A and B are shown apart, each in its own frame.
Chain A
Amino acid sequence: MLKYVVNRLLSLIPVILVTSFMIYWAMSLTEGDPAMMIAGDGASQEMIEQIRHDLGLDQPFLLQYFNYMKGMLVGDMGKSYVTNKDVFATFFQYLPNTLYLGGSAVIIATIVSIPLGIYTAIHQNTWKDTAGMVFALFGTSMPNFWLGLMLIIIFALHLRLFPTGGNFGWKSLVLPAVTVGFGLAALITRITRSSMLDVMRQDYMTTARAKGCSEKRVIYKHGLKNALIPIITAIGLQMSLVITGSVLAETVFSWPGIGRLVYESITRRDIPMVTGSIILCSILMCIINLIVDLVYAFFDPRIKAQYSKKG
């Protein structure tokens, strides 16, 4: 098993290299001449050349990229054009907040939607099912930044229950977490429902009943454990949705996470910050996907066996 994990981590490297190269290359094409921007108006040609040399911009592109990635390994991804602070350090300063937000959203969404999905599956074709499906439908139809705005209007402005933004304790986490989690919850509810419906049709459910298992036991012990496998896969696939949602929610609620960092860097044309953030985000995504795969293997013994054999 351990060997499998190591293998997977190693296979991430080519993915990360290709991804970061593409991003680095794309972003390097967007900026004007950074040396000129730093030197400012009226700087002499020599000064600009000097700055260019200092920044390593006179070297071949691949070498620049190589140095950049080397720098990442020691935590140096350049400095922000705007704040002149270290890109790498800034990213990791804001990352925990996004993890809190994303983590809370996922937890809330899962706690609400898996039971709801099971419930609607058991009561298929009744009004309870329809109600649940309507909720899921609306949830996947609304843009989450708009939901954020609506929540602010209702709960922060009119009802004054929560702050409109910023990070002032747990109350500030609620509205952003709901914003990110709502769409996720709607999606998970649908997936849970259809997974459970699939599982309930299986022969081994009849076997379990024929053994004398109570209906409850059949559904939760035999059904759910099998249904969880595709559900977890699906949740895993949505992790990038959580990051996307966080970018939007953090912007709406001024939540100090990497989402808002990316947004503000974009508007301020802070190329190093944008480049570094996106690359680090992608790496983060790869790691999250790996974790999800491992969780998935934990639940499905057929996959676990495959990996153990390899390892």
Chain B
Amino acid sequence: MAAKKRIKGRTMFQETWHRLLKNKGAVIGMAFLALLVVVAVISPFVFDYETDVIGQNLAMKLQAPNSEHWFGTDEYGRDLFARVMYGARYSLAIGVGSVGFGLIVGTILGSIAGFYGGKADDIIMRGIDIFYSIPNILKAVVIVSLLGTSTINLIIALAISCATNYARIVRASVMTVRDLEYVESSYAMGLPTWKIILRHILPNCLSPIIVQTTLLIGTTIISASSLSFLGIGVPAPAPEWGALLSGGRAHIRGASYICVIPGLAIMFTVLALNLLGDGLRDALDPKLKK
């Protein structure tokens, strides 16, 4: 331990963080995401939900962006700026929620499948393959039809897709590490299985999981907005970005800004997540870059 202090080394976390900061794209991404989180958190304090976000004012409807309404107003006279800012809450909540649930469930399934192999692996993988064969949107349609249209149900529907994603990755990582010798020696030392998985195997799967998480949040946000656009995602009058675009569609000729701005919000958010994810991938395994 004393030796560690004398040598000015860095932990793996610090190394990765240092490399990440060198990546301009990743830094921009992180800055944008930080801004987004701030917006999401303070929105309820800046805007009053009843009046600003969903309160209708038909006299003011369909105004193009001006000094009073920075993003203009929508077809019910609501301030688009307030709705877009408030909408950040939905995207972040759904993105993080779905991916979070999916991560936990998927990791458990993937670890079991990868570690024990055999029958358990077969059953789990077959199940995952079956889910994979149904296109995402249709899966969500079935689940939302079953459970009803609400934000929570949307999160559940998307979480299932995320779980299958993670299960595959974790299974592959676990299978790679399981056969390495240091795991055998852990066995020989008498560690219980769950401890082996938690302490020795999973830390090595961290890199692909971390990278996948940022990218998956992005795809989930896009999926959520797509489903809201189709009307089976977040129920009206919630200002979810996809729902905003759906409402604007009828007015695409006269007030096309409604169709542009919320989409930009989605795109920049996912862009930031992708930049961060790419940066993390490079930072976690610089050998891959060269």
Contact = CB atoms under 8 A, between A and B. Distances in A.
Interface of A: 15, 18-19, 22-23, 26-27, 29-30, 137-138, 140-146, 149-150, 152-153, 157, 240-241, 243-244, 247-248, 251-252, 262-263, 266-267, 274, 278, 281-282, 285-286, 289
Contact of A143 (B136, B142, B145, B225): B225
Contacts, number: 127
Given A266-B230, A282-B133, A149 B252 contact: yes
Contacts of B146: 26-27, 29-30
B256 A157 contact: yes
Contact of B263 (A137, A149, A274): A149
B226 interface: yes
A141 B133 contact: no
A55 B198 CA distance: 53
Interface residues of B, number: 40
Contacts of B260: 149-150, 153
Interface of B: 126, 129-130, 132-138, 141-143, 145-146, 218, 222, 225-226, 229-232, 242, 245, 249, 252-253, 256, 259-260, 263, 266-268, 270-271, 274-275, 278
B226 A143 contact: yes
B135 A26 contact: no
Contacts of A19: 130, 133-134
A154 to B, nearest CB: 10
B267 A262 contact: no
B31 to A, nearest CB: 16
- Binding site of A, secondary structure by majority: helix, strand, loop or mixed? helix
Contacts of B134: 19, 23, 240, 278, 281-282, 285
Contacts of B130: 15, 18-19
- Binding site of B, secondary structure by majority: helix, strand, loop or mixed? helix
Nearest to A31: B145
Contact of A149 (B133, B138, B259, B267): B259
A289 B133 contact: yes
B259 A141 contact: no
Nearest to B272: A141
B133 A286 contact: yes
B251 to A, nearest CB: 11
Contacts of B266: 142-143, 146
Contacts of B126: 15
